[in-house]
Amino acid sequence: TAKKIGILVGSLRKDSYTRKVAQALVSLAPSTLTFEFIDIGELPLYNQDLEENGAVAPAAWTAFRQRVQGCDGVLFFTPEYNRSVPAALKNAIDVGSRPYGSSVWGGKPGAILSVSPGAIGGFGANHHLRQSMVFLDVPLLQQPEAYIGGAAKLFDDSGKLANEGTQQFLQKFAAAYAHWVDTNARPANA
Name the amino acid, one letter, at 178: A
Residue 116 binds ligand FNR (CB under 6 A):
yes
Angstrom distance (rounded) from CA 129 to CA 131 = 5
Question: DSSP secondary-structure letter at 53?
Answer: T
Angstrom distance (rounded) from CA 81 to CA 77 = 13
Residues in the chain: 190
Nearer to ligand FNR by Cβ, of 34 and 91: the residue is 91
3-class state of residue 121 by DSSP: coil
Residue 153 binds ligand FNR (CB under 6 A):
no
Nearer to ligand FNR by Cβ, of 40 and 181: the residue is 40
137: left (phi over 0), alpha (psi -120 to 50) or beta: left
Residue 83 binds ligand FNR (CB under 6 A):
yes
Residue 16 binds ligand FNR (CB under 6 A):
yes
Give the phi and the psi of residue 60 in degrees, each rounded to 5.
Answer: -65, -35
Q: Shortest Cβ distance from residue 9 to ligand FNR (Å)?
A: 7
Candidates 53, 82, 143, 183: give the one binding ligand FNR (CB under 6 A): 82
Candidates 58, 117, 150, 159: give the one binding ligand FNR (CB under 6 A): 117
Q: Shortest Cβ distance from residue 105 to ligand FNR (Å)?
A: 22
Candidates 5, 6, 7, 18: give the one binding ligand FNR (CB under 6 A): 18
Q: Shortest Cβ distance from residue 24 to ligand FNR (Å)?
A: 13
Question: DSSP secondary-structure letter at 82?
Answer: T
Q: Are 30 and 97 in contact (CB under 8 A)?
A: no
Nearer to ligand FNR by Cβ, of 107 and 122: the residue is 122
Nearer to ligand FNR by Cβ, of 97 and 116: the residue is 116
Q: Are 34 and 102 in contact (CB under 8 A)?
A: no
Binding residues for ligand FNR, rule: CB under 6 A, are 11, 13, 16-18, 79-83, 115-118, 120, 122
